[in-house]
Homo-oligomer: A and B are copies of this chain.
Amino acid sequence: MTIDKSIPNATAKRLSIYYRTFKRFHAAKVEKASSKQIAEAIGIDSATVRRDFSYFGELGRRGFGYDVEKLMNFFAELLNDNAITSVALIGVGNLGSAMLNYKFHERNKMKIAMAFDIKGNPLVGTTTPEGTPIYDFADIKEKIAQTDIKTAIITVPSNNSQEVADELIRAGIKGILSFSPINLTLPKDVVVQYVDLTSELQTLLYFMRNNKG
């Protein structure tokens, strides 16, 4: 979609939140939603919603509320939610196991197709109850080469995350979701998204202190 090019990064980061919200409205049989309703459902201000929606062309220009079903389908297409995406998981400790159990694919077409860890992990060589194989990380290049996987989730200890990322690049991975607070050094054509739990908690505490009075 050519429209993507003009969407600023800050707006792009909210697309999946809008998508989730419109799916929820649709499930609740809401047909039209105002910027105020959308803003309240998400917890941002309505001026931001209106500015974001001004980038969505025709669909974003609704004086009497936005059409829920049309926008839901628009976001699904924009986020490519109609295609199935397979990802690899690196690191099968507690967090990795949580990811393997996480229902990415119940509402969305994303699934962890294979997981990796070092040989010391007794889970290597086994298959999860859901059928996801857990391979030796030493074989990652060969295993990934047999698939069209371009995306990986890293749930390894922080001090291993850069070397794991380097190996993923060599295996052809182009996008990384990292749970490590370490900023990764990566080639320009590789995209990284960080989930930094300390930052999330710090941000929550900041808003708690500034919500008073």
With a 10 A CB-CB cut-off, give which of A81, A104, A175 has the most chain B CB atoms. A175
Query: What number of copies of this chain does the assembly contain?
Result: 2
Task: Indicate whether A209 reaches chain B with its CB closer than 8 angstroms.
Answer: yes
Per the 8 Å Cβ criterion, residues 1-54 of A in contact with B are 4-5, 9-10, 12-13, 15-17, 19-21, 24, 41-45
Docked-complex contact A200 and B195, CB < 8 angstroms = yes
Give min CB distance, A122 to chain B, whole Å.
Answer: 16
Partner of A203, one of B12, B94, B183, B209: B12
Task: Indicate whether A113 reaches chain B with its CB closer than 8 angstroms.
Answer: no
Q: Which of A59-67, A95-103, A130-138, A161-169 is near enough to bind chain B? A: A95-103
Instruction: Give 16 A-B pairs besides A5-B210, A110-B201, A177-B200 with Cβ atoms closer than 8 angstroms.
Output: A4-B209, A4-B210, A16-B199, A16-B200, A16-B202, A17-B196, A21-B183, A79-B205, A79-B206, A80-B209, A81-B202, A95-B98, A107-B181, A176-B204, A191-B207, A192-B204
